[in-house]
Amino acid sequence: MHETILITGAAGYIGSHFAEALIAAPEWTRKNPKLVFLDDLSSGHLEFLQELSALAVGAGMTEPVFERVSLQDAEGVRTALLRHRPAAVVHFAAKISVAESVQNPDLYFLNNVEGSKNLLSAMRESNCKRMIFSSTAAVYGAVEDPVRATGPLSEETSLAPINPYGETKLKMEQEIARAGAEWGLRSVVFRYFNAAGASASGRFGEWHEPETHLIPLLLRSIESGKALSVFGNDYPTRDGTCIRDYIHVSDLASAHLLGLMRLLVEEAFAGGTFNLGTETGTSVLEVIHAAEQITKKRVPYELKDRRAGDSPVLVADSSRARKVLGWVPVHSGIDMIVRTAWDWEQRKS
């Protein structure tokens, strides 16, 4: 194939795992695509890119190219796309903190939405008509309705984000759909539920500062002795705490590889929007108990009042991804997620 695949946000959590999975897959190394990593390192890590480059070269692939460019730099993005003329773009780059988005919504719309518009414009000019986009279950919003809150959410569930982060992701989806209608972009949009875990290789893992996700926070509580905050224990769930659908980051990566291959080899494949989750949920207390079993250490935690907007249950209906893409999550048992996350925390520290 020897086509170019450009990955935005490759230095981040999910982008690095996707790139590692591509490099490790024999069907991809045989094709030897040229990889271009486009990242401004505002929240990603140069160490991840260096590790990925070494892996690619070790696998006999062309050495990846790193373009240090912010998506807010329209001309820089345009120049990079015209230089490399990718066959497809895999778009992970975005700011992702709900709390920060509430505090500074303008930053999120500038970075996520306007940045994506710059990317789409550059793709159009460079005649790149294939995109994989990293979206989120946050586009569904707070599922307060009791019926809607207890069943798995399908891609047809009404969209009503309740924070600027979710709003920006929905707006990005709309911009991608508009590009499809206006100039023929074919896209696969993945709505992640709760991404978690780390690479089995130990090379990549969750590394956010500040950290806001439950599993790394509770693992850090074990190490520091500082109590983890558990918000609400009076929800209508089996133990009173919120239930979420945790999906291993390596399973997310495998879905992206399936979608990308379909876009590259099947001109008739129009793409689509797909939930990525396990269709089962784990409560906050169940995650804590799993962590205690795996680490053989106690998780210090304290119960606090509910947070506004937290739904009792958020679980994915991922049947479309299974049926259309042939995707099967194989790493997403909560024990595997916590074990790989703990191994990563130990290595990182």
CA angle 186, 191, 197 (to 5 degrees): 125
Q: Which of 108, 140, 165, 235 is catalytic?
A: 165
In sequence order, the β-bridge partners of residue 65 are 36
Q: Which residues contact residue 35 at a Cβ distance below 8 angstroms, ignoring those fewer than 6 apart? A: 4, 5, 7, 10, 19, 22, 23, 52, 56, 61, 62, 64, 65
Give Rg (Cα) of the chain: 20
Residue position matching structure tokens 């989806």: 173
Beta strand residue intervals within 220-346, DSSP E: 228-231, 243-244, 246-248, 271-276, 282-283, 301-304, 313-314
Measured CA to CA, the distance from residue 194 to residue 197 in angstroms comes to: 10
The C-alpha atoms of residue 80 and residue 172 are separated, in whole angstroms, by 21
Q: Which residue has the tokens 């693992």?
A: 219
Active site residue 165: yes
Does the CA dihedral 104-17-46-65 come out positive or negative?
Answer: negative
What does residue 296 show for φ and ψ, rounded to 5 degrees?
60, 30
| Beta bridge partners of residue 260, listed in sequence order | none
Using an 8 Å Cβ cutoff, are 246 and 334 in contact? Answer: yes
> What DSSP assignment string belongs to 120-156?
HHHHHHTT--EEEEEEEGGGG----SHHHHHSPBPTT
User: Catalytic residues, which ones?
Assistant: 165
